[in-house]
Structure 1
């Protein structure tokens, strides 16, 4: 992992030197913008509309438009000086219960690891947070952007989740077409609660998959091998004419879904036993890197 930030967590007069690492990764499949006619990547240029010339990065400053067409500007040095006062400190302001924070405030998660000289203070802080079952609410500045942050223990490791300030959360009054609160039909409510109960389970993040990514990887593999990309027809929902019918159909569907996995598992086990226990995910293992290799080797054979 690459260190994205160095500093210290501070609360009271205590300082815990830490390094910051991103805790999540983007698994989106990278796509380039191509010219359709020639299949070559297009270029983005930074052009000044006044002098009609390309602008290099060292000629660029940031500006705030305080009136239409009028800007105050800041260069990189000025912005760094504005952020320098707190840019190396995660300053904890309060300790609160995690349940008190609405998830709408959370942004991006980072891991915090101790500096070589801060292992003892780091372990002490981790154990103190676990003992009190609290999280710290802090101020932090990362890449010239200030934000709130929640400092908590995740699986024995200090983590930091950047948060929005209250003023960055849009009020619900701005949401159009919200219905007024009204009484609902008791039978519909009972069936809705029953459906939620049937679909409830413990949270197991490993069982959720990015279905679009899987389909895209398979389509990439098919195109690399020169196959026609075929799309499976979408499952049609049963025709329902009322909310009650929809609830009944959903309950029936969820009951069937609960019975299906066991049958599928037994079929998979039989197939695995016949094939000697091998199970390979065709799209994931082939489309990312080997696809490139195969296309190169194919071009050599054809003399391309």
Structure 2
């Protein structure tokens, strides 16, 4: 895996040299923008409206707009002089239980592997976290931004989960959900039926079970176009019968999930599809 950051984990008086790699990658189907007339890929050019000319990358600088159309220029050298310890260190602040963190704070996951000479302290830290069942709250600077982060164990490796700071998470109170409590009356039977529906659909999490159906169908359509096949219009799914009463909808859903649960237990486990492009 490609190293995107190199530094160390600061753990009390212990320093653990580590290398950071991106843990996830979006598998999006990418499109190019073409000229409609000749299907030639269009070029993305930087243009200065003041000088009325194209600008090469090497002639650009980084600027911060502090007022309308007023900028202060920030160079790479300026960024390197910022006196923040987390530019080269994952600074552990606290140890907590993972379940105490709401997923709304999570941003991106990175894997950590030992750097040169860091094998032993890496394993000591990992084993201590595993034995205590704790994760570490930390701070780290990646690409000119300091992140709140979580150091945790994935498999047998340490990983960093960058997080949003509290001021970056919008207040859920703005949705006004609490005001609905006094306006909406929910019958006990409706609550009980909803709980049964949740229980019927409850299972162990298996990430292999979930597939990107849209991406698969999109690639299938692209392959058909490459092969010169006619693209057939897919018929719209049959509309479900309308059930006007909420209680009847809940009851019908509970009965349907009971049948699906029995069928799923009898059905053989599907083989994993091979990826094709």
When normalised by structure 1's length, the TM-score is 0.83
Residue 240 of structure 1 aligns to a residue in which SS? Answer: coil
Corresponding residue to 2:188 among 186, 189, 192: 186
Segments of 4+ moved more than 6 angstroms: none
Match of 2:145 in 1: 145
Return the alpha-carbon distance in structure 2 between the equivalents of residues 257 and 179 of structure 1: 37
Match of 2:230 in 1: 228
The within-5 A match list for 1:102-251 is: 102-175=102-175, 179-182=179-182, 183-230=185-232, 231-251=234-254
Residue by residue, what CA displacement relative to the aligned partner does 1:193-228 show, whole Å, maximum 9, x if unpaired? 010000000111110111111111111111111112
Residue 10 of structure 1 aligns to a residue in which SS? Answer: strand
- Farther-moved stretch of structure 1 (221-230 vs 151-160): 221-230
Match of 2:4 in 1: 4
- Farther-moved stretch of structure 1 (8-17 vs 58-67): 58-67
Return the alpha-carbon distance in structure 2 between the equivalents of residues 205 and 248 of structure 1: 29
Residue 17 of structure 2 aligns to a residue in which SS? Answer: strand
Return the alpha-carbon distance in structure 1 between the equivalents of residues 248 and 111 of structure 2: 47
Return the alpha-carbon distance in structure 2 between the equivalents of residues 124 and 111 of structure 1: 17
* CA pair 235-116 structure 1, distance change in 2 beyond 3 A: farther
* CA pair 280-227 structure 1, distance change in 2 beyond 3 A: farther
Q: Is the 8 A contact 2:137 2:149 kept in 1?
A: yes
The within-5 A match list for 1:49-64 is: 49-64=49-64
* CA pair 178-249 structure 1, distance change in 2 beyond 3 A: same
- C-alpha displacement at 1:103, in angstroms? 0.5
Match of 2:20 in 1: 20
Return the alpha-carbon distance in structure 1 between the equivalents of residues 49 and 179 of structure 2: 47
Return the alpha-carbon distance in structure 2 between the equivalents of residues 240 and 2 of structure 1: 54
Compare the two structures and name the one with the higher helix fraction.
Answer: 1
Return the alpha-carbon distance in structure 2 between the equivalents of residues 165 and 117 of structure 1: 32
Q: How large is the Cα RMSD of the aligned pairs? A: 2.2
* CA pair 264-136 structure 1, distance change in 2 beyond 3 A: closer
Return the alpha-carbon distance in structure 2 between the equivalents of residues 104 and 159 of structure 1: 18
Match of 1:272 in 2: none
Q: Is the 8 A contact 1:150 1:160 kept in 2?
A: yes
Unaligned runs of 5+ in 2: none
- C-alpha displacement at 1:109, in angstroms? 0.6
Q: Is the 8 A contact 1:63 1:71 kept in 2?
A: yes
Match of 2:260 in 1: 257
Residue by residue, what CA displacement relative to the aligned partner does 1:271-303 show, whole Å, maximum 9, x if unpaired? xxxxxxxx8958x42xx2xxxxxxxxxxxxxxx
- C-alpha displacement at 1:259, in angstroms? 3.7
Match of 1:271 in 2: none
Return the alpha-carbon distance in structure 2 between the equivalents of residues 237 and 174 of structure 1: 35
Aligned residues: 274
Return the alpha-carbon distance in structure 2 between the equivalents of residues 127 and 281 of structure 1: 36
Unaligned runs of 5+ in 1: 269-278, 289-304
* CA pair 83-234 structure 1, distance change in 2 beyond 3 A: farther
